[in-house]
Amino acid sequence: MGSVSKLVYILCIIYLQKETIGLTCFSCLGITHPRFCKHVDTCNSGEICGLEKVVYPSGETTFNVGCFQSKTCYDNSTQSKVHETCRHCCSSDMCNDNGCGERGLTLSRGPICYHCDGALSMNECKTISVCEQNQFCFIEEQFSIGERFYTTNCQYKNVCDAVSGGMPIIGKKRSSIRSQIRSSACNMCCSGDLCNMDCWKSNLIAKTTTRTTEVTTTTKTTVTTTSKGNPRECSDINFDKQGVFTIYPRGDNHPKRVYCMVLNGIKWTVIQRRINGSTNFDKTWNEYKEGFGNVNTEYWLGNDYIHALTNNGLHMVHFILEPFNDTVRYADYSIFHIDDESTKYLLNVTGYSGNAGDCLDVDNIDGRTNGMKFSTKDQDNDRWSDNCATLDKGGWWYSACEYCNLNAEYGKSSPAWRYDLHGLVNNSLMMVTKV
């Protein structure tokens, strides 16, 4: 291949990668100047960055910036009885901070950085800040009760030096994240525009390198398939960073989104999570059967899926529990599985260890969860004269409404774990893995 052909080939690859990733453009409506836009969006295929300047007869001027259709976006000016409009279009990242006679951001600025506090995913972070010349982009990843949080902003060199040296950042605001359990945390500073998208990339990298690496990381995630051709649970998946994946515990025709975690090198499938009461757990039998909620926040995997998963070999269960105003506790049971719907999802759990207290396999029959059938507000299978699920507003393996129920109404009867925790639980995480 000749040198010219090689150059054309490389340019085509770069163009195709850019089309696949999509341009990042400033995105604001009705602002007084494009320099004041503090929001970005990733354009879809066939879109480019655009700026629209609208001048009204009164002299008032407003600007709209964002992603425009490339087929219809071109530089022009039009005038009507109501206003005069100028449009400017461009095809590089964040190029729509200027146009129609308006100057853009000064060249003497620092990097443009993502600026979000406590985002659940960096894909949710669209707010930006323009840093000063002596500042860097910063990202911190934190882990709390099975949840990842991201804080991004501009930071001065002394803070970044502390980060690179492994020193803690002192005095950082954490108002949006409560009860931290700092594990698998990452801190990083970098110098390129919007380089603080991924905490696990190398330091001082340019934005284009970061975006290309993200695509590589996404395609690199491989799957260790079962005999059916798909992973039945998280331990069948080859992943480096915990997050949301698709599993097939009931076979190829029943995909299920689930949160997968790694703790001390062991891969876990999360079957229940509660962190803030955002999901209503007062559901019907069929809803508990199929599962409900949001795998990124609070959810119940579904009894049919838990049955299929825990009956595919021996499994153990791990509970992470955070009581109100107390330290995080845990409980492990070396044997855990539930039977099918014909038995009302009868629970089999034993072999306790941990520091939360044995709340499932106790001697008292009124408090014992082990050996109980599942109950919901429309199917009463407990030992009590009334319906515990109606009383506590959540489905569970009740005996006589005592001791344990992690699906109770949040904030009232509240998720409960008696014994060593002496009552109510603020956050809970329930996960299983193969033994």
On the question of pLDDT at 97 being above 60, the answer is yes
From 92-106, 122-136, 177-191, the region with the lowest mean pLDDT: 177-191
- pLDDT at position 13, please? 41
pLDDT in tens, 1-48: 554 444 444 444 444 344 445 889 999 999 999 989 999 999 998 899
How is residue 339 written in tokens? 């039977």
Listed in order, the ranges of the chain carrying CATH 2.10.60.10 are: 24-97
Instruction: Provide the pLDDT confidence category of residue 404 given band limits of 50, 70 and 90.
Output: confident
On the question of pLDDT at 303 being above 80, the answer is yes
What integer best gives the mean pLDDT of the chain?
79
- pLDDT at position 403, please? 73
Listed in order, the ranges of the chain carrying CATH 3.90.215.10 are: 234-434
CATH number belonging to domain 24-97:
2.10.60.10
C-alpha triplet 4, 7, 12: angle, nearest 5°: 125
- pLDDT at position 64, please? 93
From 109-123, 174-188, 205-219, the region with the lowest mean pLDDT: 205-219
On the question of pLDDT at 377 being above 80, the answer is yes
User: Once rounded to an integer, what is the mean pLDDT over residues 51-65?
Assistant: 90
On the question of pLDDT at 325 being above 90, the answer is no
More confident residue, 352 or 163: 352
pTM for this predicted structure: 0.51
Which CATH superfamily hosts domain 234-434?
Answer: Gamma Fibrinogen, chain A, domain 1 (3.90.215.10)
End-to-end CA distance of the chain: 55
pLDDT in tens, 246-291: 999 998 889 999 999 998 789 999 999 998 889 999 999 999 999 9
Q: Which amino acid is at 38?
A: K
